Amino acid sequence: MAARKVVLIEGDGIGPEITKAVLRVLDAAGVEIDWTRCDAGISALDKGEEVLPAATIAAIKEHKVALKGPCTTPVGEGFSSVNVQLRKTFNLYAAVRPVRNLPGVETRYKNVDLIIIRENTEGLYSGVENEITPGVVMSMKVATEKACLRIARWAFRFATQRQRKSITVFHKANIMKLTDGLFLRVADLIHQRDYPNIDFRSAIIDAGCMRLVQDPSQFDILLLENLYGDVVSDLCAGFVGGLGVVPGANYGEEEAIFEAVHGSAPDIAGKNIANPLALLMSAVMLLNYLAENDKTSIYAQAAEKIRAAYDQTLLDGAKTRDLGGELNTEEFADAVIARL
Ligand code: ATP
């Protein structure tokens, strides 16, 4: 069988170093993927290309699947987020972020097994802003019934396929009665009409966050609009060891891009100390996606082998500094490879 072609974007900041470490682990696990390397972000600008080059878009259109390192987004000025541009270009409307306790990574929280499903295309996170007059700026929160229905259906279908028990929507529909009201109403409709067997709950986001930090184990799937999903993902990462251990996937109808929840971490870039695990876990999600639910597929087997190896690595106490260990990026990759 010919190796599957997958686009690889190293990204900015810690992107190149964690990507290198992840590729070494995949190679050592015998994963056969024909990578098409593409640029995006500051690294593309540095080469005189657009921030999201046409060649990168064309490659993702052709191969349908990408593994992506983080891309830096300038704060308060400059170009708009490459991550947002990619999600919009390919209509990657469903972001999925599993947040689970890992063996050997002690935190204040136990039995955390959350899946965050984030609507990825609308809301304030779209960054549709303008200056009405000097000193007065505005940001538009757009919600469409089409996108709300699409993510609600996706979430309930996902919950059914994965045999998850409940979906909780966090919202602020008491204040944003139209936009968050629509998101909540549509999710409730899909639940009642098509998925009555899945437990459906809702919480106003402020109170929901309070309950979440008291005991995250009382939640299963969280369904959130775009900006809430962004914020709550990082909050939940804190339950299980931080941004170094939470992977993610962005799914559309045809394309899928796998990337860690964290950003480009410029403060630690180039120091070989970043944790490559979140990107490695994202690569495992990618392999399972390529396997298309066939557990006998070589991709599913490689995914399981890598997962078992990083679990054992952590159990043995071999960790990067963000998890209280002493290993650097490369040494952590070596430790995983030694346990494959
Ligand atoms: P960006 O602008 O690209 O989002 P950022 O620094 O604002 O970058 P993150 O990259 O998400 O946001 O990182 C926040 C902090 O978390 C970083 O300063 C870094 O110390 C830490 N961090 C993020 N990812 C990792 C990682 N993989 N390993 C270790 N620490 C990380």
Per-residue pLDDT of the chain (340 residues; tens, 9 = 90+): 678 999 999 999 999 999 999 999 999 999 999 999 999 999 899 999 999 999 999 999 999 999 999 998 777 777 778 888 999 899 999 999 999 999 999 999 999 999 999 999 999 988 889 999 999 999 999 999 999 999 999 999 999 999 999 999 999 999 999 999 999 999 999 999 999 999 999 999 999 999 999 999 999 999 999 999 999 999 999 999 999 999 999 999 999 999 999 999 999 999 999 999 999 999 999 999 999 878 889 999 999 999 999 999 999 999 999 999 999 999 999 999 999 9
| Domain of 214, in residue numbers | 108-240
Does this model's pTM top 0.75? My answer is yes
Q: Is 323 part of a structural domain of the chain?
A: yes
Same domain, 13 and 65: yes
Evaluate: CB of 82 within 6 angstroms of ligand 1. no
Regarding whether 227 and 120 lie in a shared domain, the answer is yes
Is the shortest distance between the CB of 94 and ligand 1 below 6 Å? Answer: no
Q: Are residues 181 and 215 in the same domain?
A: yes
Q: Do the strands 199-204 and 33-38 form a parallel or antiparallel pair, or are they unpaired?
A: unpaired
Residue 103: inside a domain, yes or no? no
Closest to 226 measured CA to CA, from 325, 295, 123: 123
193 and 122 inside one domain = yes
Is 84 a pocket residue for ligand 1 (Cβ < 6 Å)? Answer: no
Contact 117, 228 (CB under 8 A): no
The finding on whether 30 has its CB within 6 A of some atom of ligand 1 is: no
Atom number in ligand 1 closest to CA 18: 27
- Measured in residues, the chain has a length of 340
Residue 60 located in a structural domain:
yes
Q: Are residues 114 and 197 in the same domain?
A: yes
Cα–Cα distance for residue pair 96/233, rounded to 1 Å:
10
Q: Is 329 in the pocket of ligand 1 (CB under 6 A)?
A: no
Among the atoms of ligand 1, which is closest to the Cα of residue 276?
Answer: 27
Q: Give the CATH number for residue 10.
A: 3.40.718.10
Count how many domains the chain has: 2
Looking at the structure, do residues 301 and 321 belong to the same domain, yes or no? yes
